[in-house]
Amino acid sequence: MTESTIPSPSSLSGRSVARVDNEVGPLRTVLVHRPGNELRRLTPRNNDQLLFDSIPWVDRAQEEHDAFTGVLRDRGVEVLLLVEVLRSALEDPRAHAAGVHAAVDSRRLGAELADVLRSHLSTASPETLTEVLMSGMTFEELPASEGGSLVRKMHHPHDFAVDPLPNLLFTRDSSVWIGDRVAISSLAMPARKRETALVDLVYAYHPRFRGAVRAYGAHSAPIEGGDVLQLAPGVLAVGVGERTTPAGAESLARSVFADDLAHTVLAVPIAQDRATMHLDTVCTMVAPDAVVMYPLAQDSLIAYTLTPDDEKGVRVGGPAPFLEAAADAMGIDRLRVIDTGLDPVTAEREQWDDGNNTLALAPGVVIAYERNLETNERLEAAGIEVVRIAGSELGSGRGGPRCMSCPIVRDAVSTEGEAG
Ligand SMILES: NC(=O)NCCC[C@H](N)C(=O)O
């Protein structure tokens, strides 16, 4: 297991808890999840429902993830591991009680089994509770109880009494820092809904995040972090498609306008397909004025421009071509698209394998999956430094480096000496 990277609260005094107002400034602190036993729950019978396209080789996925966090640390990024921050948050008795509540679903278990599990978990250590919250529990793993439970009898021993959360790997989606506030997402897919309860506990009870203010409520209309791109300070692009709904985009806009975190939100319709489940599957920023984008999206993406109106409401303009609306909102002449210029079949293959899902370490420096040879070469030809990582197993959940990272501190973009 990787060593702890959590500074003690005292070492943090005088330091801002978090701040992210762009996509490409030097990355300082990031929240990630090293895949664990929750991936061992995937079988050919449940992988579709649990949003994985195949059954990952778990040890190899962990090696790949360790290499990913190794790159981050080598580049001076502080890496917070979800398992560690959750475990330490659960030391607080209030967090522990909320964690037990998040694990026990009495509609699934019935009153009797729910009581059995609740009292078992109430005395569990933070380590055990963390493991149950992440990896779930099957009916055969439930503690023994007196008497007969119809629910226990009628379930297969391998059915889940507590669902595992294999998509925790994609920390991008469950929360997103906008300025110095955190928006807890409202995840659309049933397999992911419970993830927000875990990040909610971390931000509410881990000493590191004491005082963190919320930008959006977990019970609001669906938004997922993979749909939210901070194109520039005060300018958000929000994909609206399979996951984030129009109501989610509008309500996030209201929230960031009310908190003075943004002046423009671009609502960008994306195809309601698995291949394009989030905006960051087709477009990510690689420099302050440049994106890498799936060629087919380049001419077809449009945007509605949301701005605050005088009555504390939202004014809706457009639609207009996305690239134009984005440049306009960012106050630049043009948002450059790195021309990945691939033939349509290669483009489609590399988009599916998260070629467009890069994580910027600094302006003009990105982490990308090594397998997307042509996209990476094109990025380099355009002056972007590409740090390649393996993702054969990590990618089986259909997510790349951006999906696997939730930036918590990112510096402002300096206007001098930028690459790209
Ligand atoms: N931002 C992203 O595109 N995240 C990838 C999420 C993959 C995950 N298996 C899902 O279907 O939600």
- Nearest residue (by CA) to ligand 1, atom 11, is 51
Quick check: is 406 catalytic? no
Handedness of CA 364, 370, 375, 381 (dihedral sign): positive
Return the best residue to mutate from 280, 398, 406 for the ligand 1 pocket (most ligand atoms within 8 A of CB): 398
Q: What fold, for 86-162?
A: Pentein (1.10.3930)
Q: Which atom of ligand 1 is nearest to the CA of 399?
A: 5
**pLDDT above 70 coverage of the chain, percent:** 94
**How far, in Å, CA of 264 to CA of 110, rounded?**
47
Beta-carbon neighbour count of residue 222 at 10 Å?
A: 21
pLDDT of residue 273: 83
Where does 107-223 show beta strands of DSSP type E? 137-138, 160-162, 175-178, 181-184, 213-216
Over residues 267-291, the pLDDT tens digits come to: 999 988 888 889 999 999 999 999 9
Over residues 224-279, the pLDDT tens digits come to: 999 999 999 999 999 999 999 999 999 999 999 999 999 999 999 998 888 888 99
Domain ranges of the chain: 18-83+166-410, 86-162
Average pLDDT over residues 47-65: 97
The rounded Å distance from CA 353 to ligand 1 centre is 12
Residue of 335, 344, 376, 330 lying closest to 357 (CA atoms): 376
At which residue do the structure tokens 């590409």 appear? 386
Banded pLDDT at 217 (limits 50, 70, 90): low
Tell me if 227 CB under 6 Å of ligand 1: no
Least confident of 5-14, 101-110, 237-246, 265-274: 5-14
Q: Residue 365: in which H helix or E strand, if any?
A: strand 365-369
At which residue do the structure tokens 């009494």 appear? 161
Tell me if 226 CB under 6 Å of ligand 1: yes
**How far, in Å, CA of 201 to CA of 263, rounded?**
30
Torsion of CA 58, 62, 63, 68, to 10 degrees: 140
pLDDT of residue 308: 96
- Nearest residue (by CA) to ligand 1, atom 5, is 399
Angle at 129 between CA 125 and CA 133, to 5 degrees: 170
Tell me if 222 CB under 6 Å of ligand 1: no
Tell me if 223 CB under 6 Å of ligand 1: no
Tell me if 129 CB under 6 Å of ligand 1: no
- Catalytic member of 292, 403, 404, 406: 403
The CATH class of the 18-83+166-410 domain is: alpha beta
The rounded Å distance from CA 77 to ligand 1 centre is 23
pLDDT of residue 218: 55
Q: Residue 236: in which H helix or E strand, if any?
A: strand 235-240
Tell me if 277 CB under 6 Å of ligand 1: yes
pLDDT of residue 316: 97
The rounded Å distance from CA 369 to ligand 1 centre is 15
The rounded Å distance from CA 171 to ligand 1 centre is 9
Average pLDDT over residues 135-147: 91
Is residue 143 scored above 60 in pLDDT?
yes
Is residue 3 scored above 50 in pLDDT?
no
Tell me if 36 CB under 6 Å of ligand 1: no
Q: Which atom of ligand 1 is nearest to the CA of 191?
A: 12
Q: Which atom of ligand 1 is nearest to the CA of 166?
A: 9
Is residue 8 scored above 70 in pLDDT?
no
Comparing 325 with 420, the larger pLDDT belongs to 325
Tell me if 33 CB under 6 Å of ligand 1: no
